[in-house]
Chains A and B, each alone.
Chain A
C-alpha cells in the first residue's frame, strides 16, 4: 500500500519547509516559509508565506500558457519569495491538466472560476488574507482578467502581455515599415494562403466591447491593474496609447498602470530582464497594497 498521507495532516495536504538561508536578491532573513498543498479537485500548489504578520492581500500566480506553476525559467518561485519578503502571502498553483495538477475531471464550463476560487480559499485559510491580486503572463493574464472582472474578492491584477486589441494606429505602425520590405510582404501574402496558428489563436480574449465593459467594471470597483507589454506582444501591441484606444477611457484611470517594454521578450529569457520585472511588480504591490518597501 502506498502511503499518500502526509506527515502533517490538515484539512488540505500540506508539508512545510523553511529555507536554510536567504536567497540573494530575495528575502534576506529567512523571511518566508513554503508549504506544498494538494487542494480542490486534484490541484497542486506551493504557498509562500511571510514569517511575520502578513498583509491581508494575497497573491495568486497563474499558469503562463502550458508552463508549470514554477513559471518560465522559475520566475514564479523568485517572485513569490520576493513578495513574501514584503509581507504578501503568495500561492503558485497549477490549473487542472497543467504541471503537477490532475487532469480535469469535470466539464470545462466554469473550471477557471472554480479552480481560482479553490486557490483563493486555500490562501485565505492558510494565511488569513481577505483579498487577492491575480498575476499571470499570456494566458495567465487572460485568466486574471476574466476572474478579476467577476470576483469581488479580487483587489488587483498583474497582466503580463495581457489583453489589448489592434487599433488603426497599431496597423499603421505595424505595416508601414514592412511594406518597404519586399521579402516580408511576400511572406505575409504566402501566410494568408496557408495560415498557421499564431499565439493569438491560443488566447482567451472577450469580444472588444465586452472587454471594455469588464475593465470599466473593475476600475469602478477600485481594482488596481498593472499592464506590462513586452516586445513579445508586437503582433498585437506596439504603443502605449494603444491600451486606452482599445480598452476605453477606464484604461486612463488612476487604478490602471501601464509599462511598455518593447526591448524585452515574452518570457523574460534573460535574468537581468526578470530582475527588472520583479522589481517593478514589487514596487507596484508596495504602492498599491502597502507592505514593506522592496
Chain B
C-alpha cells in the first residue's frame, strides 16, 4: 500500500508517496529513496519508478517517491527548480523517510538526470552511502546540451505542429520554465569529479557502458568507492531522445523487475 502526503519546510512544500507494508517481519533496517529525473523524463518515467517503489515497499522495505520543489505536486513554479533547492529537498525527503519508515538508514536510487543532484548532495555526507544509478546521465554539460537539442527538435522536427512554426519563450525548455541558474549549475557538474564518502557503494544499472560511465567508475574507485555495473536487457532500452516518442511513457518492465529483485536482495548484484 502507499500513502500520499506533503512534507518539507514552511514555504517549501514537497509531495511524497510512501510505499510499504503496515506489518513487515522482520522489519527492514533500511529504506529506499527514489529520485526522479528532471523535466519531461520525470513525467515519462513516473510509473516505472512508482512500480519499482511499490514492489520494494511490498517486500517490506519502505520506499519513498517525491516531487522536487517546482515539479509535480510539490509547491513552487517550474522556474523555481534549482540545484541548491534539490539538495535541500533530498535532505528533507531523507529525513522524512527515516521518520516515517522507522528505519536507521536510507539507500538511494536515481534515474537518468537525477544522478547529478543526488551525487552532489551525497558528496556532502561523511558516512559511506549506498546508491543505485539507473541509466545515469553524469556529465552536466552534455545533459544540458541534449535538452536544448531535444527542445529544438520538438519545435521543428517532431511533427508536433501542422503547417505552422512556433518559437518558445525565453527561459523555456522542453515544455517547462527553466532558469539559467539551474542550467548553469548542472552544466558545471561532472560526476567523475564528485567525491563520495570513502567506503561508499555505487551500483549502476545500465543498458550500455560508455565513456562517461567508465570515467566515473575509475575516478570513484580511485577514491575508495566500490562501483559495480549491471547490464540491463538491451531489447527494452527506452528511446529517450527520439522526438516522436517524447510524449510517450517509458516503462521498461524487465529492468524494473531486475532492479526490484536486487533492491530486495532476492538476486545478488
Q: A188 on the interface (CB 8 Å rule)?
A: no
Within the assembled complex, what's the spacing in Å between the Cα atoms of A184 and B176? 33
Find residues 161-219 in chain B having any chain A CB closer than 8 Å to their own CB.
Answer: 161-162, 164, 166, 168-169, 172, 175-177
Q: How far is the CB of B76 from chain A (nearest CB, A)?
A: 8
Q: A262 on the interface (CB 8 Å rule)?
A: yes
Q: Is the CB of A17 within 8 A of B172?
A: no
- The DSSP consensus for interface residues of chain A is loop
Q: Evaluate whether A270 and B102 lie within 8 angstroms (CB atoms) in the complex, with A70-B72, A100-B4 already known.
A: no
Q: B72-99: contact bitstring with A at CB < 8 Å (1 yes, 0 no)?
A: 1101011000000000000000000001
Which residues of A sit under 8 angstroms from B54, Cβ to Cβ? 102
Find residues 1-45 in chain A having any chain B CB closer than 8 Å to their own CB.
Answer: 1-7, 13, 15-17, 19-21, 23-24, 34-38, 42, 44
Within the assembled complex, what's the spacing in Å between the Cα atoms of A234 and B17? 38
Which B-chain residue is minimally distant from A19 (CB atoms)?
B75
Within the assembled complex, what's the spacing in Å between the Cα atoms of A3 and B43? 27
- By the criterion of a CB under 8 Å from any partner CB, how many residues of chain A are at the interface? 49
Which A-chain residue is minimally distant from B50 (CB atoms)?
A100
Which residues of A sit under 8 angstroms from B6, Cβ to Cβ? 15-17, 34-36
Q: B154 on the interface (CB 8 Å rule)?
A: yes
Within the assembled complex, what's the spacing in Å between the Cα atoms of A34 and B6? 9
Q: B268 on the interface (CB 8 Å rule)?
A: no
Within the assembled complex, what's the spacing in Å between the Cα atoms of A71 and B226? 39
Q: Is the CB of A68 within 8 A of B160?
A: no
Q: B1 on the interface (CB 8 Å rule)?
A: yes
- By the criterion of a CB under 8 Å from any partner CB, how many residues of chain B are at the interface? 53
Segment among A72-80, A128-136, A148-156 that sits at the interface with chain B: A72-80
Q: B249 on the interface (CB 8 Å rule)?
A: yes
Q: Is the CB of B78 within 8 A of A2?
A: no
Contact of B168 among A36, A44, A270 (CB under 8 A): A270
Interface residues, chain A, CB within 8 Å of chain B? 1-7, 13, 15-17, 19-21, 23-24, 34-38, 42, 44, 46, 66-68, 70, 72-74, 77, 98-100, 102, 231-232, 234, 262-263, 265-267, 269-273
Interface residues, chain B, CB within 8 Å of chain A? 1-7, 10-13, 15, 17-18, 20-24, 27, 40, 43, 46-47, 50, 54, 57, 62, 65, 71-73, 75, 77-78, 99-102, 154, 160-162, 164, 166, 168-169, 172, 175-177, 247, 249
In the A-B complex, the 6 residue pairs with the smallest Cβ-Cβ separation, listed nearest first, are A20-B11, A2-B20, A73-B175, A36-B4, A17-B13, A15-B5
Extra A-B contacts (17), CB below 8 Å, given A42-B1, A46-B73: A1-B24, A2-B20, A2-B62, A4-B20, A4-B100, A13-B5, A15-B4, A34-B6, A34-B13, A66-B47, A68-B47, A70-B73, A74-B71, A100-B4, A263-B166, A265-B161, A269-B175
